[in-house]
Amino acid sequence: MKYRNLVGYVLAGLIIVGLSPVILDIKKNQRSNALAVTKITPKEGPTAGGNTIVIEGSDFKKRITVKQISVGGAVTCLLSSEQKVYCWGDNSYGAVGNGEGGPGGLNPGAEEFKTLPQAIVRGEIPDGVKIKQISSGTLIVYAIGTDDQIYFWGANQFSPRKLSSVYPGASLPNGVVPVKIQAGYYNATSKAVILGSDNKVYVHDEDHGLLPVPAGQISSAEKIVDVAFSKEAKQQGIEGGAICALTNLGKAYCSLSGAGPFTTIPQGQIPTGAKIASISVAAAWTNTDLVPAPINNFCVLTTDGQAYCWGTIGVDGTINYHATPTLVKMPPNKKVKKIKTGQVHICLISDDDQVYCWDNEKFPGVGIDTNNVSPYQPNPILAGQIPAGVKIVDIDLNSSDIAFETCAIGDNKKAYCWGSNFLGQSQLDGKPFEFDPENPDYVDKPTLVPFGTDDETKVTIDGIPVTARIINQQRLEFTAPPHAPGKVDVVVMNKTDVITLVKGYTYVDNVNPQPQPQPQPQPQPQPQPAEPNNPANDKTLTPNSGYQKRNHRIRLGVLVSGLTLVVIGLVVSFKRFLKIKK
Quote the pLDDT of residue 25.
39
Give me the count of residues in the chain: 582
pLDDT at 405 over 80: yes
Average of pLDDT values for 354-374? 93
pLDDT at 275 over 60: yes
pLDDT at 98 over 70: yes
Q: Treating both helix axes as pointing N-terminal to C-terminal, what angle do 4-30 and 546-581 enclose, rounded to 10 degrees?
A: 170
Indicate the SS3 state at residue 557: helix
Quote the pLDDT of residue 561.
61
Task: Give the list of residues 6+ apart from residue 348 with CB closer than 8 angstroms, or none.
Answer: 307, 328, 336, 337, 338, 339, 340, 355, 356, 357, 378, 395
| Percent of residues, the chain, with pLDDT higher than 90 | 66
Pair 540, 28: CB distance under 8 Å: yes
Task: Label residue 185 by pLDDT band (50, 70, 90).
Answer: confident
The Cα–Cα gap between 538 and 261 comes to 67
Closest to 39 (Cα-Cα) out of 517, 467, 477, 553: 477
**Which value, in Å, is the radius of gyration of the alpha carbons in the chain?**
32
Quote the pLDDT of residue 572.
58
pLDDT at 15 over 80: no
Task: Label residue 570 by pLDDT band (50, 70, 90).
Answer: low
Mean pLDDT of the residues in the chain? 84
pLDDT at 394 over 60: yes
Partners of 161 in beta bridges = 152
pLDDT at 100 over 80: yes
The Cα–Cα gap between 487 and 213 comes to 62
Q: pLDDT per residue over 49-64, tens digit each?
A: 999 999 999 999 999 9
pLDDT at 422 over 80: yes
Quote the pLDDT of residue 235.
43
Quote the pLDDT of residue 284.
64
Pair 159, 94: CB distance under 8 Å: yes
Please spell the DSSP secondary structure of 189-230, one letter per residue.
SEEEEEEETTS-EEEEETTTEEEEPP-TT--TT--EEEEEE-
pLDDT at 238 over 50: no
Chain-centre distance for alpha carbon 439: 32
Average of pLDDT values for 406-421? 97
User: Is the pTM higher than 0.85?
Assistant: no
Write b or e for each residue in 465-493: b if 16 or more Cβ atoms lie within 10 A of its Cβ, otherwise e: ebebeebebbbbbbebbebeeeebebbbe
**Residue 121: burial class (beta carbons within 10 Å; 0-12, 13-18, 19+):** middle
Pair 207, 258: CB distance under 8 Å: no
The Cα–Cα gap between 350 and 356 comes to 7
pLDDT at 207 over 70: yes
* DSSP letter assigned to residue 126: P
Average of pLDDT values for 511-531? 50
Task: Label residue 102 by pLDDT band (50, 70, 90).
Answer: confident
Average of pLDDT values for 18-32? 43
Out of 189-198, 335-344, 554-563, the most confident range is 335-344
Quote the pLDDT of residue 5.
53
Quote the pLDDT of residue 439.
80
Cα four-point dihedral sign 126, 131, 134, 139: positive
Quote the pLDDT of residue 36.
95
Quote the pLDDT of residue 575.
61
Residue type, 473: Q
pLDDT at 286 over 60: no
Q: pLDDT per residue over 122-152, tens digit each?
A: 999 999 999 999 999 999 999 999 999 999 9
Task: Label residue 556 by pLDDT band (50, 70, 90).
Answer: low
